[in-house]
Structure 1
Amino acid sequence: MSSIFRLDASIRQDGSVTRAVADTLEAAIVEDLDRVEVVRRDVGATPLDGTVWGTAAFAGWTPEDDRSEAQRAALAVSAELADELVAADVLIFAVPLYNFGVSQHFKTWWDVVGTDPRFAPGSTTLAGKPAFLVTARGGGYGPGTPREGWDHATGWMRRVLEDVWGLDLDVIETELTLADVTPAMAELRDLARAQLAESHDAARNSARSVTLRLRRAA
């Protein structure tokens, strides 16, 4: 049996582009494989307690016998999150751009995972594992746009997922997602719909490539 770990960081349940594109990706993978288990971690709907990271981080420098109950509990959370990643064959991260930066819920999750010994600096626990980053931006941030250089999230996420964790990462990006509800972006609505359709197509195509890889490895 193959397994997928999926993380969602959108604070929206309905109308979320990252959730919708990740749904397409997940469904295509599941459809193309015989048996698939999907483990979900929705940090957008159920955020991690922001104090867990600091407690777990300091616990790592505290002798085991001297750890407080709070430290032991924080390390247990970290281990649970790490277990979900280690056990999966494919990883999906659906994380939108918020306020020009990284979702605080995703950042907290990543920080907490990093306190598990399996994710210590220099570790190769996830090296080479296939993964997808599905991200979305309300406006346009490409070269020549007024917001060029204002996306401070995608580069960071690629850095920590590709370079720090060593994942074999495929990035699916969608822009102009607020065009339908923003009068000033009315002239961009056709382009926005086309970009969204392209993202769903990219998700289906990427799913095929990863299912072929999983079949070869089976």
Structure 2
Amino acid sequence: MSVLLILAVDTSGKTASCAVMQDGLLLGSRMIYTARAHSQILLPMVKSLLADTGHTVQAVDLFAAANGPGSYTGLRIGIAAVQALGFAGGKQCAGISSLEGLAWNNCGHAGILCACLKARLDLCYCAFFESDGETVTRLTDDKVLHAADIAGQIEAYGSGVTVAGDGIETLREVCADIRSAPAHLLHQSACGIVLAAMHTTPVQPDQLGVSYLQAVKIG
């Protein structure tokens, strides 16, 4: 399938965002760090972005959304919105790991990337990736791990590991020497989701679902 125009959303955390890409060119994006419900701002933000980039919802070839891990309510809002748009236009969808989206958002940094989102207590959602400066390769599955275990894996990979995601604050409680992604790339963003969507197999809207990792107490 040759995808020309992709619309992506990410509602997995405190930021709500959307992005539009055409033929590999990022046409525009919106991101708001807000305490308001994502359901209040997501669709108006999408409509505004499409209008500003000169496109309509009907012109979109593929709809993509972060499908977890992350905020239970936020993820369901994003997935439901993308499913509705896909059903309405008869278009396919893509569900992208929130952690993979974080990695793709930082793909310009060559080296090992640790995508890390706070879960509960000292637990974090985590996965490791490697970037060559343009594309991202997954090294581990998405997991729920204690911060100390993640810090141990970072140490094992050696110097130069970049950490993205709000889990970095939890990691710093057990390891002060953590390299952070720059502030504008630290949190989840639909820019990473839209990049990852270019490298995934699309599905029908009714096949799209939320992927939850259980942040139960382990160990």
TM-score for both structures, normalised by structure 1: 0.33
Higher strand share: 2
Higher helix share: 1
TM-score for both structures, normalised by structure 2: 0.33
